[in-house]
Amino acid sequence: MEDTAHPLLRSYGRIKSRPIKPRQAALVETLLPQIRAPQAPFDPADLMPGAEEVWLEIGFGGGEHMASQAARAPNVLIIGCEPFLNGVASAVRHVDEQGLKNVRIKDGDARELIGHLPDACLNRVFILFPDPWPKARHHKRRIVQPEVLADLARVMKPGGKLRFATDVAGYADWALERVLASPDFKWAAERADDWRVPPADHITTRYEEKRLGDCEPVFFDFERV
């Protein structure tokens, strides 16, 4: 939980850029309140009774990956977190157009939501192409930090999967070093293709196709010990 005397450093930049399109803005007003994740402690099982699994995507961008995964797995509840308002508006549009009933959205900091979750409730967590905060003085703002990994370990079930992807070489090294230092996760990769080749269930987004980083995308799949 956030210490009000020492508030969390923001792990994201601006929260809005261009004006939100009228149709998306209307959905933010009408649909988002219906699918917004609770703002207080809650049990995901209450959001979708009968869900076979619960997945969390931290920083879903425009929501393409989240919506596509939800469409593939209608019996899985997917909770997505994104502070960027334009991304939230885009995601709500995807939910509406695809008629998805298994998505809940937290429009804000994922760390706040994680603090509201009960122990061992998540089967999967995605952190895909997060803000790399490339300047050394800003590295403390990267979402992959020991304390965040500890929080994720608390809310993930044993055997749960954590996927981290980036196209920034320095962030790949940073994340791998910190996850491997955690006693709560293990990396089962045995050869380069295990992290250089997109996993079979990965969904490529328009953002990923832009290749804005300095290396080819890498995909690290870790398991909750």
Q: Evaluate if pTM is beyond 0.85.
A: yes
Q: What is the DSSP letter of 203?
A: -
214-223 pLDDT, tens per residue? 999 999 999 9
Q: Does domain 22-224 have CATH number 3.40.140.10?
A: no
| pLDDT higher than 80, residue 3 | no
Q: What backbone torsions phi and psi does residue 81 show, to the nearest 5 degrees? A: -120, 135
- Split at pLDDT 50, 70, 90, the class of 18 is confident
> By C-alpha distance, which of 134, 125, 127, 135 is closest to 53?
125
131-185 pLDDT, tens per residue? 999 999 989 999 999 999 999 999 999 999 999 999 999 999 999 999 999 999 9
Tokens standing for 83? 């502070």
- Split at pLDDT 50, 70, 90, the class of 15 is low
200-210 pLDDT, tens per residue? 999 999 889 99
| pLDDT higher than 70, residue 5 | no
63-120 pLDDT, tens per residue? 999 999 999 999 999 999 999 999 999 999 999 999 999 999 999 999 999 999 999 9
Q: What is the pLDDT of residue 1?
A: 40
Marked catalytic residue, from 3, 46, 119, 131: 131
Q: What is the pLDDT of residue 115?
A: 96
38-49 pLDDT, tens per residue? 999 999 999 999
Residue 147 CB partners (closer than 8 Å, separation 6+)? none
Q: What is the pLDDT of residue 17?
A: 57
Q: Is 131 noted as a catalytic residue in this protein?
A: yes
CA torsion angle 40 145 201 199 (round to 10) = 180
Residue 92 · residue 27 · CB < 8 Å: yes
If one compares 115 and 188, the residue with the highest pLDDT of the two is 115
Residue 178 CB partners (closer than 8 Å, separation 6+)? 144, 145, 146, 149
Domain extent listing, the chain: 22-224
